[in-house]
Structure 1
Amino acid sequence: MLKLKHVHHIAIIASDYQRSKAFYCEILGFMLLSEVYRAERDSWKGDLALNGDYVIELFSFPNVPARVSRPEACGLRHLAFGVEDVAAAISALNIDGVNCEPIRIDPLTGRRFTFFADPDDLPLELYEA
């Protein structure tokens, strides 16, 4: 059996790198660890950390096609973040102009959760952990 240690990172391609970097850093609270412009690809790459842990590799590429996310398509469904209080997190996102779906209750765990989207409509979830 393969012995994976942990998830190393999640790669996200943004249609507007600066807008997505601001969303993930200024609104969601990620920290930009490093950033490089790759001229040969006309592409930015930023490494983002959450609470000191490297989590997201944020890319830009010219002329990227839109990804189908709704109706739900095969592939990565969404990215979920654990929070202490879903209602408080929704309030903080609303202040920054980010709309969230109504709070739902996970029927298996009884925990509250909601969904919202990044600037490219990538589904993101807040799950009360």
Structure 2
Amino acid sequence: MIKHEGIHHISLIVTDLERAKTFYEQILGLCEILRPPFDFPGAWYGIGEDGQQLHLIVHQGETNRVGGIDTRDGHFALRVKDYEETIGWLQQHHIAHKANPNSITGFAQIFLLDPDHNVIELNTVRG
């Protein structure tokens, strides 16, 4: 049996690295971390206190995601501290999102898209 220790990183494809970095740093508040000198562009971000990472990889390949926010599409989730504050931040920055404060999951959810239409969930414990 495989014994898991946690998720190390998630990789997402982006087409415009500077645009993606602006979004992940200025909208989601992530901090860039050191990345090995690969022969292709990208950026790495640290998430949380347990060493999880988000890796952005520049790739001009095809994507299947062309529509709006689909909460059933593949996505990753970040836990946020304050639901209402997060909604306010997204509204202030004109970021389209779908709010689901009463999810049957037991935690409040917010779904949004990055500039390359990668789906992101932000969630928090309901108070």
TM-score (norm 1): 0.79
- List alignment gaps of at least 5 residues for structure 2: none
Q: Quick one: structure 1 residues 92 and 72, their matched pair in 2 at CA, closer, same or farther if it must change by over 3 Å?
A: closer
Task: State the partner residue of 2:28.
Answer: 28
> How well do the aligned residues superpose, as a CA RMSD in angstroms?
2.6
Give 1:64 shift: 1.8
How many residue pairs get aligned? The number is: 123
State the percentage of identical aligned residues. Answer: 22
Q: Distance in 1 between matches of 2:7 and 2:105?
A: 24
Q: How many angstroms does 1:108 deviate by?
A: 4.3
Give the Cα separation in 1 of the matches to 2:104 and 2:44: 35
**Deviation at residue 70 of structure 1 after TM alignment:** 5.3
One-letter amino acid of the structure 1 residue matched with residue 122 of structure 2: L
Paired AA for residue 27 in structure 1: I
Q: Secondary structure at the match of 1:102?
A: strand
Counterpart position of 1:94 = 91
In 1, Cα distance between the equivalents of 2:52 and 2:33?
8
Unaligned runs of 5+ in 1: none
- Aligned 1:1-129 pairs, distance under 5 A: 1-35=1-35, 38-39=38-39, 43-51=40-48, 53-61=51-59, 63-68=60-65, 77-109=74-106, 111-129=107-125
Query: For the residues of structure 2 that align with 1:7 and 1:108, how far apart are their CA atoms?
Result: 20
Higher mean C-alpha deviation, range 50-59 or range 79-88: 50-59
Give the structure-2-normalised TM-score.
0.80
Once residues 2 and 38 of structure 1 are traced to their aligned partners in structure 2, the CA distance between those partners, rounded to angstroms, is 29
